Amino acid sequence: MRRILWGAAVLGTVGAATLASLVVWPVGAAPGPIALSGDVDRGAYLARVSGCISCHSNFEAGRAPLAGGAPLDTPFGAFHPPNLTTDPVSGLGTWTVEQFAKAVRQGVGPDGTPYYPAFPYAFYADFTDQDIADLWAAFQTVPPVADPAPAHTVGFPFDQRWGLKLWRAAFLHDPDTGPVDGRSDAWNRGRALVRGPAHCGACHTPRNLAGGRDLAARFAGNAALPGGSKAPSIQPQALEQGGWTVSALAYALETGLTPSGDAFGGSMAEVVRENTRFMTPEDRTAMATYLLQGEVGGQTD
């Protein structure tokens, strides 16, 4: 009996030590210095394409642009996009561009706290230093708003941020936005946009019970989006069966109108209204080209 108790005590001590190590285990890597000059206009365009403005603004609630967005209701709780204005207390006013880079590309805050994946940082991991400098320059033009966004409403055990370190180890993947030899410039540009800043896979890829994306079914659709809506498959075969062509899809990304004369609803209507209609015609066509042609063998992976 004494041996059993001693063994249990040892296991308990080891378990506590392991948990303590996990809690203090740092995530992310320190970014190098970014001394590039940013292009405000390009940064503003990238912020629009990436969904920063639509996600972090809640105009219906009367909040100022980028002062915090509407809550995102998920099975894990409600997540409130934070204030991204230049306010030193409620926003990014005291941040450095390097801290901003780490947050955007790695999903880690200035204090080392990992962000919840409701923030789609996984899709921004391939942003270049110039992309970061451009975004940063654009955000520096946003007037300060001393109004913090509400705190996330997340119950136990999802409120334990250290658990995100395990989640990241299991489900955080590089977006793989690089060009592919032998494909057209439009296709490669579309690939970079779809897999990167436009983060189409955030909605159009199914997720497991832990909220990780099933990359074996990339773009196959998701029947369980936050708020109860659904996202259809945008794989090449599904798009073709739905009557989509490159020109029709590019037009829909501008207007929200489908080949049948119907209009997008739900979250996709918001994507068009707040994001894709502001893109250049060339970028909308590039996205449509990539999605209709797919990767090797006509698939998206």
Q: What is the dihedral of CA 204, 208, 210, 215, to 10 degrees?
A: -60
Distance CA 223, CA 231 (A): 6
Tokens of 298: 């006509």
Output the pLDDT for position 27.
Answer: 74
- Distance spanning both ends of the chain, measured CA to CA: 56
Distances (CA, A) of 106 to 5, 28, 41, 132, 267: 43, 6, 24, 12, 26
pTM: 0.89
Phi–psi pair at 273, nearest 5 degrees: -65, -40
Q: What's 113's DSSP letter?
A: P
Q: How far apart are CA 8 and CA 48, in angstroms?
A: 55
Q: Where is 170: in which H helix or E strand? A: helix 163-171
Looking at residue 101, its pLDDT comes to 98
How is 29-46 classified by DSSP, letter by letter?
A: -PPPP--PPP-HHHHHHH
Match 């394409």 to its residue by tokens.
49
Sign of CA dihedral 226, 270, 198, 31: negative
Q: Is the dihedral of CA 51, 55, 57, 61 positive or negative?
A: positive
CA 143 vs. chain centroid, Å, equals 24
List per-residue pLDDT tens for the chain, 301 residues long: 555 545 444 444 444 445 455 465 567 788 899 999 999 999 999 999 999 999 999 999 999 999 999 999 998 999 999 999 999 999 999 999 999 999 999 999 999 999 999 999 999 999 999 999 999 999 999 999 999 999 999 999 889 999 999 999 999 999 999 999 999 999 999 999 999 999 999 999 999 999 999 999 999 999 988 877 899 999 999 999 999 999 999 999 999 999 988 999 888 999 999 999 999 999 999 999 999 999 965 444 4
Res 11: pLDDT: 40
H or E segment to which residue 284 belongs? helix 281-293
Q: Distance between alpha carbon 138 and the CA centroid of its chain, in Å?
A: 19
Which residues sit opposite 114 in a β-bridge? 108
Rounded CA separation 150/148 (Å): 6
